[in-house]
Amino acid sequence: MILPVIVAGGNGSRLWPLSRQLNPKQFLPLADAELSMLQATILRLQGLDTAAPQLICNEQHRFLAAEQLRQLNLEQANILLEPIGRNTAPAIALAALQACKESQDPILLVLAADHLIKDVPAFHASIQAALPLAQDGKLVTFGIVPDRPETGYGYIEKGSAVGDGFAVNRFVEKPDLATAGDYLASGNFFWNSGMFMFRASRYLQELEEFQPQILAVCRAALEAGTQDMHFTRVDSDIFATCPDDSIDYAVMENTRDAVMVPLDAGWSDIGSWSALWDVSNKDADNNVLKGDVLSQASRNSYVHADSRLVTIVGVEDLVVVETKDAVLVAHKDRVQDVKTIVEKIKADGRHEHINHREVYRPWGMYDSIDNGHRYQVKRITVKPGAKLSVQMHHHRAEHWIVVSGTAKVTNGERTYLVCENESTYIPIGQIHALENPGVIPLELIEVQSGSYLGEDDIVRFEDKYGRA
């Protein structure tokens, strides 16, 4: 049995303003209108003999990940939580240690949650070709068959044939354009996909040899961790001492048992807006238009409209991305510099890199509709059966108006129902809670007023989702 290990870390800052720190690209429907990148990665495994996937994600994405698994009827799938990012070598070590605790040394299929693969049968064929090699103790990496000289990826040079794969001669860093052209012409170099297959124990053995500190810290952090519903939490203080290293540097470039299986399946890591334009369906003018977009005499552009009409006239080779709180306009040849814009947003003390105006919570979501001096207005949606924490605020009062559904409100010593077109008021300092007892979503407008309206003015007394 193959155990898929799906690594869902990272912030995807080159795809800002859609990808944000608290809602990064792996949780967004970028290449598919309905499915997030993570969900597409999981569904791509259908037809293979695999166990339920092991997901690894950042602590701050836990409820987003759990909700997307729930939508695929995978509520019981285990989610490993990293308190801080320490790169892929420690993340995969945690998964391998956890797998060896729960089953008898499975074959791990390590996948990134944010890759696109168009030819699923070809993807499955490469996995089947890699399986005997992994069963024989090899550490398999999948090399993408290149179709152009590419300077944005690392490369793998193949050696002699080993089963249905090849020995790895060497891994090489991202080349310049001339070198990439030489690699393509030789036919011996493949893009490094960042996907792997090996026995859990073999990876741990190699990590023990080449990076024993990573293994020791991960083992200690996992042993000192806790189980919270279907979340596995590692000890944050111990894990913070772990070296930051990728699986390539820590293991694959050092092991004597690295082999590569070619993969020619329409792969892309969707690492930029131009990459997303490359793999998307285009209109007669070679444009990719998403949302409410009108184009006139424009070509070769990517335009995404999230919340309003966006028009382009007489332009070429542009990327235009509109969200409720930000707009990006960039030349397609300069989209790698979007990351620099995100760094400037951080340096200026702004918040647009952290989250969208719409913020997802385990109980539902809220949209910050308006704000000003001493007030803020939110539209709140609470899922059926969900409940916000029992809490209070030191600096703000709240007025709730129910738009649809029925709210069960705890307001000090009283608990009562508030129905459509009714409202209630929560004074400053009052202990309160909000719950949806019905079977349809509860939607309400919240008007906050007070001297401080930050999200950190929440004192929680009780929370069904385990938040502090």
The pLDDT tens digits of the residues spanning 210-259 come to 999 999 999 999 999 998 877 999 999 999 999 999 999 999 999 999 99
Q: For position 357, what pLDDT does the model report?
A: 87
Cα distance between residue 248 and residue 260, in whole Å: 13
Reply yes or no on whether the pLDDT at 312 is more than 80.
yes
The pair of three-digit structure tokens given for residue 314, joined into one six-digit string: 């007489």
Please identify, among 313, 346, 379, the residue that sits at the C-terminal boundary of a domain.
346
* 414 domain-assigned: yes
- In 3D space, the residue among 186, 231, 213, 194 whose CA is nearest the CA of residue 78 turns out to be 231
DSSP string computed for 52-104: SPEEEEEGGGHHHHHHHHHHTT-TT--EEEESS---HHHHHHHHHHHHHHHSS
Overall average pLDDT of the 255-264 stretch: 97
* 333 domain-assigned: yes
Cα-trace Rg, the chain: 24
Q: Are residues 330 and 384 in the same domain?
A: no
Overall average pLDDT of the 19-44 stretch: 93
* 351 domain-assigned: no
pLDDT-based confidence at residue 465 (cuts at 50, 70, 90): confident
* 335 domain-assigned: yes
Q: Are residues 33 and 145 in the same domain?
A: yes
Q: Are residues 390 and 431 in the same domain?
A: yes
Give the phi and the psi of residue 222 in degrees, each rounded to 5. -70, -40
Please identify, among 346, 369, 394, the residue that sits at the C-terminal boundary of a domain.
346
Reply yes or no on whether the pLDDT at 10 is more than 90.
no
* Alpha-helical regions (H) of 256-309: 273-279
Q: Are residues 163 and 211 in the same domain?
A: yes
Q: Are residues 98 and 26 in the same domain?
A: yes
Reply yes or no on whether the pLDDT at 191 is more than 80.
yes
Cα distance between residue 236 and residue 238, in whole Å: 6
Q: Are residues 83 and 189 in the same domain?
A: yes
Q: For position 467, what pLDDT does the model report?
A: 74
According to DSSP, the residues that pair with 2 across neighbouring strands are 50, 107
Please identify, among 325, 346, 367, the residue that sits at the C-terminal boundary of a domain.
346
Overall average pLDDT of the 78-100 stretch: 94
Q: Are residues 237 and 121 in the same domain?
A: yes
For position 437, which CATH number holds?
A: 2.60.120.10
At 430-447, the pLDDT tens digits run 999 999 999 999 999 999
For position 106, which CATH number holds?
A: 3.90.550.10
CA 318 to chain centre: 26
Which range marks the domain in which residue 121 is found?
A: 2-268
Overall average pLDDT of the 129-136 stretch: 97
* 467 domain-assigned: no
Q: Considering the chain, what is the average pLDDT of its residues? A: 94
At 331-354, the pLDDT tens digits run 999 999 999 999 999 999 998 999
Q: Are residues 232 and 303 in the same domain?
A: no
* 194 domain-assigned: yes
* 274 domain-assigned: no
pLDDT-based confidence at residue 32 (cuts at 50, 70, 90): confident
Overall average pLDDT of the 392-401 stretch: 97
Place of tokens 């869902």: 8
Report how many domains make up the chain: 3
Q: Are residues 87 and 123 in the same domain?
A: yes
* 233 domain-assigned: yes
The pair of three-digit structure tokens given for residue 330, joined into one six-digit string: 């960039």
Q: Are residues 227 and 326 in the same domain?
A: no
Q: Are residues 87 and 206 in the same domain?
A: yes
Q: Are residues 121 and 185 in the same domain?
A: yes
Cα distance between residue 191 and residue 146, in whole Å: 6
